[in-house]
Structure 1
Amino acid sequence: MSNFIAGLVGLLAGLLVNYLSDILPVRRRLTAPICLNCGKSQTLRNYLFWPRRCPHCNFRRSARTWVVEMVGVLGGLWLWNSTEAQQRLGLVVGMVVLIYFAVIVVIDYEHRLILHPTSIFGVVLGLGVGITLNGLTLTLIGGAVGYGVMYGLYFLGGVFIKLMARLRGQKIDEVALGFGDVNLTGVLGLMLGWPNVIIALFLSVLSAGVVSGILLFSRVLSRKYRSFMDAMPYGPFLILGAFLMLFLPLFTQTLLQSISPFF
């Protein structure tokens, strides 16, 4: 496969990610493309190619459309040219996993949701990937541990929110973790198996802490800091941890060795 074909496959993957990210939060199933503003159906030509503007309400698709497609092209080229990325999953399965990861990230970032349809598909994908890489036993243990650990954090987070609401005397609607994060961690646990899921969770928590610290510091400097309870989607950080373990194991090993003196 040439770089041209790899880039084309990546572009098609980006188109698919955009379609799924547009349609699933609204319809929860596969339908014809719709306008996110007025909800009316669009033709494939108008939606995928040009003018990418709703013929009914003249609503133009967001910049995310172009960003995802460019990232898709780069991802296809990277997957084709990276021996480390291919060595565990191969090209086809690797691309399917990347598409799944991208859909989770985009939807959770835009809607703060991890949908049941994506979780159900993820269980099937996770079992297939996990059993191939780690065998049935370690796959099931990884899924159970991932789900159980995140469920515990979800429960403790709920208790903490109720306590803070009582202390502040007002209802708090925003939560750090949703139940979709619990389902997602179970899916990723199936993919990664035991004990890799624990390492991925550590990387997820570490990356989320770093980003939260940077955002907090920037808000303090700009005097726009309101509350530490501001919600931040956690799904992208869970995906990051799993991505590092699945596609960049050598880099991840080096990273863990370099930061181990600090823990």
Structure 2
Amino acid sequence: MSVITFLYIYAFVFGACIASFINVVIYRLPLGIPISKGRSRCDSCGTQLKWYDLIPVISYVIYRGKCHYCGAKIGIRGWLLEIVGGLLGCLCFYHYGLSLMTIASFILAEILIAVTFIDIDTMEIPNQLVVATGIMAILFAFIDPTVSLVSRVIGFFIVSAPMLGLCYIKEGAFGGGDIKLIAMLGFLLGTVNVLVGTFIAIISAGIYAIILLATKNTKLQAHMAFGPFLSAGCFIALLYGSQLLHTYLALYGL
């Protein structure tokens, strides 16, 4: 086995393990349950799960998506998130190689996964995750010299301020969590990339809304979680913002 292959396998396993922890965060944080309190239990029979019941990706396959003790069906979302976590670990390593940026970008990705699914489940973004994103933004300011401090400060306001203004014009236009999240991501990404990320978020959210309306799965006045789109758009912008911007401008000969 080559060294590079081993590193990719390690990145996947590490990513899947962290994603398994993020599953706990997604479940416990909205309920106000301390993340570090006690080991996981089966939601159906209450049996405390042992370490071999919690091996990321593998345990779900071995037990065929059921509790090892009572046979109750376990939702597939957690298993899929573990796989996504592993793939994100590989993606970050592919993009940044052996560097602090690999670890930092992966941790950010996992925080944004938690934001995404908690927002989908509850229509709220917990302040704890906003603070975690802010901590990552400060860390990026030290390890990513490609973005200037001025760009970061402008990035903090350039999207969050208009979103806040829209809330005064139309009450409930955006959630407070969305505004705080994009402010932190704006400082992390800088002016250009936060605009790219927001553009991706708006376009993807618009397409999703059109699909929901066309299939009559929602009403025109219904609220929709915007955090998942901001999270995905800004993470894509972190990795590929410059390339996407140059490609877009090239379409217009700029």
2:236 alignment counterpart = 244
Which of 212, 215, 228 does residue 220 from structure 2 map onto? 228
Q: Distance in 2 between matches of 1:20 and 1:46?
A: 20
Q: Deviations over 1:76-132 (max 9, x none)?
A: 22233x33x559963211211111111111211222110011111211111221454
TM, length-normalised to structure 1: 0.76
Two-structure CA RMSD over aligned residues (Å): 3.1
**Contiguous gaps of at least 5 residues in structure 2:** none
Relative distance call for 1:198 and 1:47 in structure 2 (3 A) is same
Q: Deviation at 1:257?
A: 3.4
TM, length-normalised to structure 2: 0.78
Q: Deviation at 1:18?
A: 0.8
Select the structure that is richer in helix.
Answer: 1
Q: 2:54 aligns to what SS in structure 1?
A: helix
Q: Distance in 2 between matches of 1:58 and 1:68?
A: 22
Which of 184, 188, 200 does residue 185 from structure 2 map onto? 188
Which of 64, 87, 108 does residue 74 from structure 1 map onto? 87
Is residue 154 of structure 1 aligned with residue 151 of structure 2?
no
Q: Deviation at 1:194?
A: 2.1
Q: Deviations over 1:47-93 (max 9, x none)?
A: 624677497x986542111110111122222233x33x559963211
Which of 5, 11, 16 does residue 11 from structure 1 map onto? 16
**Contiguous gaps of at least 5 residues in structure 1:** 159-174
1:103 alignment counterpart = 114
1:150, 1:185 within 8 Å by CA — same for their partners in 2? no
Relative distance call for 1:202 and 1:145 in structure 2 (3 A) is same
Is residue 121 of structure 1 aligned with residue 127 of structure 2?
no
Q: Distance in 2 between matches of 1:204 and 1:67?
A: 22
Q: Distance in 1 between matches of 2:156 and 2:91?
A: 28
Q: Which range moved further: 90-99 or 123-132?
A: 123-132
Which of 146, 151, 173 does residue 138 from structure 1 map onto? 151
1:204 alignment counterpart = 201
Q: Which range moved further: 148-157 or 63-72?
A: 148-157
Letter in 2 for 1:32: G
Letter in 1 for 2:32: R
Letter in 1 for 2:225: P
2:134, 2:184 within 8 Å by CA — same for their partners in 1? yes
Q: Deviation at 1:36?
A: 8.6
Identity %: 22
